[in-house]
Homo-oligomer: A and B are copies of this chain.
Amino acid sequence: MMTHVVGVELGGTKTVVAIANRDGILLEEIRFPTVSPRETVNQVCSWIKSKITAGDAIEMGIASFGPIRVDAHADDYGRFLATPKPGWSGFSLIDEIEKYFPKSRIELETDVNAALLGEMRHGVAMGMRDAAYLTIGTGIGAGICSNGSLVHGTLHPEMGHIRVSRHPDDTFAGTCPFHGDCWEGLASGLAMEKRWGKPAHTLPNDHAGWDWQAWYLAQGILSVVAIMSPEIVILGGGVSQFPELRDKTAHHLDVLSAGYFTFTGDDLQLAGLGQRAGIIGAMELLNQTR
């Protein structure tokens, strides 16, 4: 009997599963569209079972979209909270997986915290104890590590919903269904698309929207810097891939900071593992004590 290491990155639209041997050598990886919760878990677990010998053990690290209870001591550990994603509110992810793999070690973390962990183990934040990972995609999310521990608090950070200053020329109402013009409401990929009438990645390089975007991002980054004093802030997610966005954001960060913070634009980095931070972090969850 052997033990396999499994990573699962459960995203709002797609799910990635990877399997490795005990030495961390990646054996195989697959991705599915994320559908209903039971069907998604069934696809994940059936695929894993097809890759191992009956009787083999697994350990599973899961990086999940949220909101989901990741506190292993909570009564509702592993359960989704209210989410607009149909069918997922109240779904108990861990209970469902245990139907397929009873008594297996399972470690659960938010997708953003897992991505940060991946970057801290193998990416641009190696050796650091205080770091933040921002994902700028359809929404905005943050994974945060303080003094070597991933931050959960009472649930987990929902940093997309902080307040920021509006650009003086910005009359866009914002996309957040709760807050309108919170950070995510003004600076997510969805907000860019709604404000300018076309997807962010189709805006030309010299479009004013990129400078506004960088300015909004810099404001949110300044908040996490002011509150957590991290060594690095890592940018991930689709919108972060725009060629000059990191540099423009770093510039605005320096201007907004006005020399006050020791954190400078140089401490703002793109994810070193790119889109693979999440799945690598999911497997790394098995290499940490919680």
Q: Give A contacts to B, CB under 8 Å.
A: 130, 142, 144, 146-147, 149, 151-166, 178-179, 181, 219, 222-224, 226-231, 256-263
Contacts and interface: CB of A to CB of B under 8 A. Distances in A.
A155 B165 CA distance: 26
Contact of A147 (B149, B231, B259): B149
Given A146-B153, A179-B258, 9 more contacts: A154-B262, A154-B263, A155-B229, A155-B262, A157-B227, A158-B229, A159-B226, A162-B223, A163-B164
A160 to B, nearest CB: 8
A125 B92 CA distance: 31
B158 A260 contact: yes
A165 B162 contact: no
A187 to B, nearest CB: 12
Contacts of A151: 146-147, 228-229
B178 A260 contact: yes
A145 B263 CA distance: 21
A257 B178 CA distance: 8
A149 B130 CA distance: 12
A109 to B, nearest CB: 14
A262 B230 CA distance: 25
Tell me if A's interface is mostly helix, strand, loop or mixed. Answer: loop
Nearest to A229: B153
16 contacts: A154-B262, A154-B263, A155-B262, A157-B226, A157-B229, A159-B226, A159-B227, A160-B226, A161-B261, A163-B164, A163-B256, A164-B164, A165-B166, A178-B257, A223-B223, A228-B228
Task: Specify how many copies of this chain sit in the oligomer.
Answer: 2
A260 B153 CA distance: 16
Contacts of A224: 227
A89 to B, nearest CB: 14
A156 B229 contact: yes
A228 B227 contact: yes
B227 A223 contact: yes
A227 B134 CA distance: 11
A179 B222 CA distance: 12
A230 B178 CA distance: 20
Contacts of A261: 158, 161
A231 B159 CA distance: 16
A263 B153 CA distance: 11
A227 B227 contact: yes
Contacts of A160: 226
